[in-house]
């Protein structure tokens, strides 16, 4: 049976999810959402704990895992040793006047 998974996973800050979900998906990255603002500390800690469990399993089995982050949870995620994924700036091609 064919399986189309991209074997690429991006931990994505909630603040960036709406803007970057589609571009990341276009590059074959599935997304693990990081906690949104407004949750209490215990809930954030529990959220990050289960995120780390997912990441460790993906890393163990050879998936590419990157961090696409607004910096909010970088310290807590540091033990996972993830590379920060370079966010591409929006294309300016549409702004170039036709000559």
Partner 1 sequence: MKRVALIAHCLINQNAKVEGGALTPAVWAPVVEMLREHGWVIRQMPCPELAFAGARRFWGVYEQYDTPLFRRHCRRLAKLIAAVVAQEVGEGDELVLIGIDSSPTMGVDHTCSSPTWGGEPNIGPQDDSALVEGRGIFVAEVHAELRERGLPIPRSTGIRHWFPGYDAAEEHARLQELLR
Residues contributing to the site for partner 1 (CB under 8 A): 1-9, 17, 21, 24-25, 28-33, 36, 38-40, 42-43, 46-47, 50, 53-54, 56-58, 60-61, 63
At closest approach, how far in Å is the CB of 73 from partner 1?
15
At closest approach, how far in Å is the CB of 74 from partner 1?
19
Nearest to partner 1 of 9, 82 (CB atom)? 9
**How many other C-beta atoms can be found within 10 angstroms of the C-beta atom of residue 13?**
20
Nearest to partner 1 of 2, 96 (CB atom)? 2
DSSP-derived 3-state class of residue 37:
coil
Nearest to partner 1 of 22, 98 (CB atom)? 22
Nearest to partner 1 of 54, 79 (CB atom)? 54
- Dihedral over alpha carbons 19, 38, 48, 4 (to 10 degrees): -30
Contacts of 25-33 with CB under 8 Å at 24 or more apart are: 29/66, 30/5, 30/6
The token pair that represents 52 in the structure block: 């780390």
At closest approach, how far in Å is the CB of 83 from partner 1?
17
Yes or no: say if 72 and 12 are a contact pair by the CB < 8 Å rule. no
């Amino acid at each position: 049976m064919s399986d189309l998974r991209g074997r690429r996973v991006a931990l994505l800050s909630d603040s960036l999810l709406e803007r970057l979900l589609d571009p990341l998906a276009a590059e074959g990255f599935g997304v693990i959402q990081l906690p949104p603002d407004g949750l209490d500390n215990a809930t954030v800690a529990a959220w990050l704990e289960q995120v780390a469990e997912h990441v460790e399993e993906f890393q163990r089995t050879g998936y590419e895992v990157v961090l696409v982050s607004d910096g909010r949870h970088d310290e807590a995620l540091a033990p996972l040793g993830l590379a920060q994924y370079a966010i591409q700036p929006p294309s300016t091609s549409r702004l170039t006047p036709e000559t």
